[in-house]
Amino acid sequence: MDNKIPKGYKNTEIGVIPVDWEVTKLGICLTEKPKYGIGAAAIDYNVNFPTYLRITDIEEDGSLRKNDLKSVNHHESSNYYLKEGDVVFARTGASVGKTYLHKSKNGEFVYAGFLIKITTNSEILNSGFLKSFTETKPYWNWVRVNSMRSGQPGINGNEYANMQIPLPPLPEQKAIATVLSDTDKLIQTLEKKIAKKQLIKKGAMQDLLSPINSATGKLKEGWVEKTLGEVVLKFQNGYGFSASGYVDNGTPIVTMAQIGLDGSFQYNYIKTNKWKLSDFKLLKNYHLKNGDLIIAMTDVTPEKNLIGRMTIVKAEQTLLLNQRVGLLRIDESKVNAYFLKTYSNMKKWRDYSIASASLGVQANIGTYDILNGKIDLPPIQEQTQIAQILSDMDSELELLEKKLAKYKTLKQGLMQVLLTGQKRLV
């Protein structure tokens, strides 16, 4: 392997960087020592008080989680306001190392006690560049090593101050931060668009899949309540595959992990366990093909959100059905598979599935309870029309999500080349 350092670069304790970059301790680049947040109780969100930034309000990517913000009312809170460009680091627990770059446009924020505020000297270190560095593998490797404690993981202010960081010339820092910030904006715009489309779809589902006309409050014409067993020709449970028999190359096995909480089919050939091809014909009763409807019969999620959810198989090859996943062979003259899959996300079916399941660390629902569950169905022609509307919405969301994944991959590539100096902007 050729370990020769390219011309114009040098080897340092944090890796190979350009010769005109420095390696320095974060503390040298600050206007003050890292400062711990306020230990105060959160109150319900109130526009008359500052927003209270807690560890739980920071997403893994450093963005702000806005769905459950709280406020703070404390006589000393004025000493803990965040200013434009302040970077906040999580100092303890499973979230240690997470960071948030404050923007004044987000409003007045006071940061909580399990957070540490870093205020950079803008003439030495650009805060946007620092935030970008905290998204890299070298940073997270440092967090893993330095957060090790006999009890709860943690990193204190002195340890953050002693962290080694790359320091390009200031104009290059700003250029890197701008490129990555612009990419973040593209990602955030797409995320907002996806969230809006998801809300529209949710509203459409509530309207289209409900047997009650929202305008009149009366039962829609032609809708009837049936048990699932009345529209299913055959129910097939999966086979008990043993982990000791998994192979690197073989027939993929579909488990409950392939059933998404939104009803999507979460399938990746590389990540899916596989079974030896020599048993393929022997397991013909457990074959799954593209378009088959399956249901989760087991759930280990804390909220039991998966139990009873259905999805439609999307695969070019025949797959194998694992135990605790059920295959529903439906009567297509009575029920549309896409309609039924989507209906499994509705409150009526969700409540029934959870109530019927044996609860505990692992929830289970049996064939009898599944087939006796009640569903609301319009005539088959109307089901098909509803399914087409919702399918079109799903297709649009899928395209947006693929585009989002592409932008996120692009950002990771940019970070790799920009934050190591492999590509120079100045």
The pLDDT, as a whole number, for residue 3 is 66
Tokens of 316: 């070019």
Burial 331-349 (b: 16+ CB within 10 A, else e): eeeebbbbbbbbbbbbebb
Of all residues in the chain, the percent with pLDDT exceeding 70 is: 99
For 196-253, write each residue's pLDDT tens digit. 999 999 999 999 999 999 889 999 999 999 999 999 999 999 999 999 999 999 999 9
pTM of the full structure: 0.84
pLDDT at residue 1 above 50?
Answer: no
For 151-175, write each residue's pLDDT tens digit. 789 999 999 999 999 999 999 999 9
Q: Where are the beta strands (DSSP E) in 170-285?
A: 224-227, 232-237, 246-247, 251-254, 274-275
pLDDT at residue 278 above 50?
Answer: yes
For 26-64, write each residue's pLDDT tens digit. 999 999 999 999 999 999 999 999 999 999 999 888 888
| Whether residues 310 and 234 fall in one domain | yes
- What is the number of domains present in the chain? 3
Mean pLDDT along residues 403-423? 95
From 359, 377, 395, the end of a domain falls on 377
Residue 118 lies in a domain: yes
CB atoms within 10 A of CB 34: 20
Helix orientation angle between 380-418 and 170-208, rounded to the nearest 10 degrees: 170
| Whether residues 272 and 233 fall in one domain | yes
The pLDDT, as a whole number, for residue 41 is 92
For 88-97, write each residue's pLDDT tens digit. 999 999 899 9
Residue 1 lies in a domain: no
From 377, 394, 413, the end of a domain falls on 377
| Whether residues 373 and 411 fall in one domain | no
| Whether residues 172 and 301 fall in one domain | no
Q: Find the DSSP H helices in 347-379.
A: 347-356, 367-372
Token look-up 């205020």 returns: 119
Residue 60 lies in a domain: yes
**Do 91 and 155 contact (CB within 8 A), yes or no?**
yes
> What is the distance between the alpha carbons of residues 415 and 422, in angstroms, rounded to a whole number?
10
CATH of the domain at 185: 1.10.287.1120
β 15-18/9-12 pair status: antiparallel
| Whether residues 68 and 102 fall in one domain | yes
Q: Which domain holds residue 87?
A: 9-167
Residue 45 lies in a domain: yes
Residue 279 lies in a domain: yes
**Is the Cα dihedral 201, 203, 207, 209 positive or negative?**
positive
pLDDT at residue 137 above 60?
Answer: yes
| Whether residues 195 and 335 fall in one domain | no
Task: Report in angstroms the alpha-carbon separations of 120 from 85, 131, 187, 283, 337.
Answer: 8, 11, 26, 63, 57
Residue 405 lies in a domain: yes
CATH of the domain at 108: 3.90.220.20
The number of C-alpha atoms within 13 Å of 77 and in the hemisphere containing its C-beta is 18
| Whether residues 162 and 174 fall in one domain | no
Q: How long is the chain?
A: 426
> What is the distance between the alpha carbons of residues 394 and 209, in angstroms, rounded to a whole number?
15
> What is the distance between the alpha carbons of residues 289 and 390, in angstroms, rounded to a whole number?
22
Residue 287 lies in a domain: yes
Q: Which are the contacts of 6, defined by CB distance < 8 A and separation ≥ 6?
A: 16
Summary mean pLDDT of the chain: 94
The number of C-alpha atoms within 13 Å of 217 and in the hemisphere containing its C-beta is 0
| Whether residues 159 and 56 fall in one domain | yes
| Whether residues 252 and 345 fall in one domain | yes
| Whether residues 51 and 110 fall in one domain | yes
Residue 3 lies in a domain: no
| Whether residues 116 and 241 fall in one domain | no
| Whether residues 160 and 14 fall in one domain | yes
